[in-house]
Amino acid sequence: MAAAAMLCGACCTKQETAPQADPAEVVMQNILARKSVRSYNGDTIPAAVMENILRAAMAAPSGRDWRPWSFVVLTDKSQYDSIFEGNFNMQKFKESGAVVVICADTIHMGPTRDNPDGPAVAQYNPLWRDDMGAVTENLLLAVEAYGLGACWTACYPYPQTMAPVKRTLGLPASVVPYAVVPIGYPNGDTQPKDKWEPARVHYNRW
Ligand SMILES: Cc1cc2nc3c(=O)[nH]c(=O)nc-3n(C[C@H](O)[C@H](O)[C@H](O)COP(=O)(O)O)c2cc1C
């Protein structure tokens, strides 16, 4: 990263070099600062910020690079009631600036491994859940980076939670509403948890 040169013009007589943040430190701080935020001030989220959050989400790793994800971004708060119908104690999320429903297509259309140059065939994607965890965490980290707050709320695998979401959004049959993520400007000062447990780590064998 190039060092930025600063000259205030008033008192500075020579160029000074601004200290550059260590990229690893910046990324580490962002990961460790992520937390579930459940209270928001109601402000909407700029479209460009939302697009960058989704760009980060889609950068997630994906089994066979099949990328089963799609996103439904809700900015119309009149939809919130029906989206949260099947989940308990969801009133607190209604002040979020947007809700992102992270969806997974369990069926992949493409050539098979045995016939990579062959026609596109509908195949069940056995790794879709794994990909969806990665994409959801990427989204949450981008939310944190923008000074926003979010909370992963469970949708899959609960039928009573998925049904109203599928109905409200008109999801195709093979598309699963995986997670419902309210995003907003935090109200309050939720602190991240320190989850570091050295005893969970084993070297070379259990
Ligand atoms: C799969 C999954 C489902 C979750 N569902 C909910 C939920 O329905 N409601 C909620 O308030 N939080 C939900 N959470 C957030 C967890 O409660 C939260 O991540 C956990 O308490 C750890 O806190 P932290 O995110 O601040 O580190 C969910 C998290 C995950 C990963």
Domain count of the chain?
1
Residue 197 lies in a domain: no
What is the separation of C-alpha 24 from the centre of its chain, rounded to a whole number of angstroms? 20
Q: Is residue 148 part of a domain?
A: yes
Structural domain range at position 96: 39-187
Q: What CATH number does residue 126 fall under? A: 3.40.109.10
Residue 112 lies in a domain: yes
pLDDT at 20 over 90: no
- 8 A C-beta contact, residue 182 and residue 40: yes
pLDDT at 3: 39
Which residues have any ligand 1 atom within 6 Å of their CB?
Answer: 35-36, 38, 87, 151-154, 193
Closest residue by CA, ligand 1 atom 9: 153
How far are the Cα atoms of 94, 98, 102, 117, 161 from residue 78, in angstroms, in the given order?
A: 10, 11, 19, 47, 18
Ligand 1 centroid – CA 92 distance (Å): 14
With contact defined as beta carbons under 8 Å apart, do 151 and 38 qualify? yes
Inside any domain, residue 132? yes
The per-residue pLDDT for range 120-179, each reduced to its tens digit, is 999 999 999 999 999 999 999 999 999 999 999 999 999 999 999 999 999 999 999 999
Between residues 99 and 13, the one the model is more confident about: 99
Give the mutation target among 91, 99, 152 for probing the ligand 1 site: most ligand atoms within 8 A of CB.
Answer: 152
* CA–centroid distance, residue 171 to ligand 1 (Å): 24
Query: How many whole angstroms from 144 Cα to the centroid of ligand 1?
Result: 15
Q: Which residue type does 44 have?
A: T
Residue of the CA atom closest to atom 29 of ligand 1: 152
Helix-helix angle 23-33:128-145, to 10 degrees: 110
Tell me which H or E stretch contains 109. strand 107-110
